[in-house]
Amino acid sequence: MGRSIVEAETGKPLLLRGVNISGMEYSHLPYAGMNPDELRIVVEGWGSNVVRIPFVQSRVVNSDYVEELKQIVKWLAELGAYTILDLQWLDQETVVGPGDNRVPPEPNNASIVCWDILASAFKGVPHVVFDLFNEPHGISVERWVDWAYVLSGAVRAVDLERVVMVSGLDWGYDLQGVALKIPNVIYSTHVYRVKGKQWDRCFGDRAWEVPVFAGEFGGDDEDLAWGEKLLDYFDERAMGWTAWSWRDKPHLQHGGQPTKFGDLVRRRLS
């Protein structure tokens, strides 16, 4: 893979850029309210060639939930887009931090079962990347790398060629020391203004060597200059990205109309 994501059918470098559509981690509506018309706006209207779909681990044991994930992937594939399936929450009940935060610090043993189920469900389905765990934090880099090997091993035991995504520490931001000696790995960073300016140290220098992808970044109206600078930085390093979020704060759109930051993202996608 080198430092580029490579399209399997052609062997050519592939620059994936799009948005997050959150909702499947918390909503009990079918498909979290998603439908083909909305996805067409995301792909054809905004120019996304990838959509990151956060999901909740505890519902993966439910076949109906897995079928919904499969249908979303199918809708996106029919539009010519890739899907990133992101293990966002372990369950919908457990608050693990301030502000009703449900993002856990690390996986658990049920995460192994989760990825075994999804690897089986999507075996042979192209254009899907597995984001193994959303935002590890508060644990050592050694512990997180061990977990990443375990989770990727669960996937590869079923689907040997599946591309997996591995986030940095510090809520996904910091990729220092996060390195796996296995093929077909994309390293993911989550970049928000609050994280500071250590882009080179935390992810940018790695992007010259291995595939680095910004699984999340976003901002509000006052963050436009920061966002332009960040997107230029991604361009310099040929980094792919998925902006946060179509549904949740910081919003990319409200009622079908782009926010100011969403308009920035849409312009850069097109």
Summarize pLDDT for 74-123 with one digit per residue, the tens.
999 999 999 999 999 999 999 988 888 999 999 999 999 999 999 999 99
Supply the Cα-derived Rg of the chain in whole angstroms: 17
Specify the pLDDT at position 98. Answer: 80
Q: CA of 71: how far to CAs of 8, 74, 151, in Å?
A: 22, 5, 24
pLDDT by residue (tens digit) across 134-152? 999 999 999 999 999 999 9
Q: What's the mean pLDDT in 208-228? A: 98
Query: How many Cα atoms occupy the beta-carbon half-sphere of 96 within 13 Å?
Result: 16
pLDDT at 211 over 60: yes
pLDDT by residue (tens digit) across 38-51? 999 999 999 999 99
Q: What's the mean pLDDT in 231-242? A: 98
- Tell me the C-alpha distance between 78 and 27, whole Å: 24
> Hey, where are the domains in the chain?
17-269
Backbone phi, psi, residue 83, to 5°: -125, 135
Cβ contact 237:210 at 8 Å: no
Whole-number average pLDDT of the chain: 96
Specify the pLDDT at position 50. Answer: 98
Cβ contact 239:207 at 8 Å: yes
Under CATH, what is the fold of the domain 17-269?
TIM Barrel (3.20.20)
Token representation of residue 148: 């990443």
Write the DSSP symbol of residue 251: P
Q: What's the mean pLDDT in 169-188? A: 98
What percent of the chain has pLDDT above 90? 93
Residues in the chain: 270
